Amino acid sequence: MIGGLRVLAVVPALGGSKGLPRKNLLPVGGVPLVARVGDVVGGCPSIDRAVVSTDDEEIAAVAQGAGLDAPFRRPAELSGDRIGDVEVLLHALEATEADDGTRYDVVVMLQPTSPLRTAEQVEAVLAQLVEQQLDAVWTVSPTDGKAHPVKQLRMADGLLAFDHSSGAQVVARQQLEPLWHRNGVAYALRREVLEAGLLLGPRTGASVIEGPVANIDDALDLEWAEFLLRRAAHHDRP
């Protein structure tokens, strides 16, 4: 609980994955992705309960072994590739409240695909939500100027053109407006926002994470996460 608000952490972790088979069970630093979330939640005193939303018994077992609860299974109609986060979080909220008879005020989504998140980052998101009286808080990272939307190109019949009308006028990165992108570390939302069918509420704050972030979509992302772990361990040595 934080600021008098009861907090539910939801870990969405389906058994299937087109890019990386059984992705949520793949190890980073020798620990399955879904289990790494449990390790982080253990260091978050503001979280009252943490559940895994899965359709897979093995994932449920691994999650429980890491301290997450698995009181329900996600139904097939919420287990496809095109199901949105809001539907999954609402189902988890309702199923958990039916299980324990508790009303939760805040849901924080912790996707297993961000294996390097820290408890401090999650706690900071929740504190910002409460202290600034926001509808939601997302963690974001600064977008590298090389990938800025204004500099993007499109192709038609093998010919290139700027996708943005002002792209041709950009000659230096200092001309680019700073932008951020979601990095998947944490999303904290008041239940009213979810019940309105929103992930980005009218007053959504940004918790900016400086430095590299790993977000697992493919095999190269796994290698990147392992590299960052090794680098952090090297820097921590006396």
pLDDT band at residue 237, thresholds of 50, 70 and 90?
low
Q: What is the pTM of this model?
A: 0.90
* Residue 26, pLDDT score: 95
* Separation of alpha carbons 141 and 163, rounded Å: 23
Mean pLDDT of 48-62: 96
Place of tokens 């609402």: 90
Place of tokens 């009308």: 165
For the beta sheet containing 7-12, the strands, ordered from the edge strand earlier in sequence to the opposite edge, are: 49-53, 7-12, 106-109, 180-190, 136-142, 204-208
Read off the tokens for 25.
Answer: 């069970």
* Residue 81, pLDDT score: 73
Sign of CA dihedral 42, 114, 2, 88: negative
Strand partners, 182: 140
Half-sphere exposure of 112 (CA within 13 A, CB side): 31
* Separation of alpha carbons 203 and 136, rounded Å: 7
Read off the tokens for 43.
Answer: 């260091």
Which one is predicted more confidently, 146 or 105?
A: 105
* Residue 19, pLDDT score: 76
Q: Do the Cβ atoms of 96 and 191 come closer than 8 Å?
A: no
Asked whether the predicted pLDDT for residue 166 surpasses 80, the reply is: no
* Residue 48, pLDDT score: 98
Q: Which of 87, 211, 59, 223 is nearest to 141 (CA)?
A: 211
Place of tokens 């053109």: 161
Residue 154: phi, psi to the nearest 5? -125, 160
* Residue 21, pLDDT score: 87
% of the chain at pLDDT higher than 70: 96
Mean pLDDT of 142-164: 86
The domain spans of the chain are 7-142+180-236, 144-177
Asked whether the predicted pLDDT for residue 77 surpasses 70, the reply is: yes
Architecture of domain 7-142+180-236: Alpha-Beta Complex (3.90)
* Separation of alpha carbons 148 and 152, rounded Å: 7
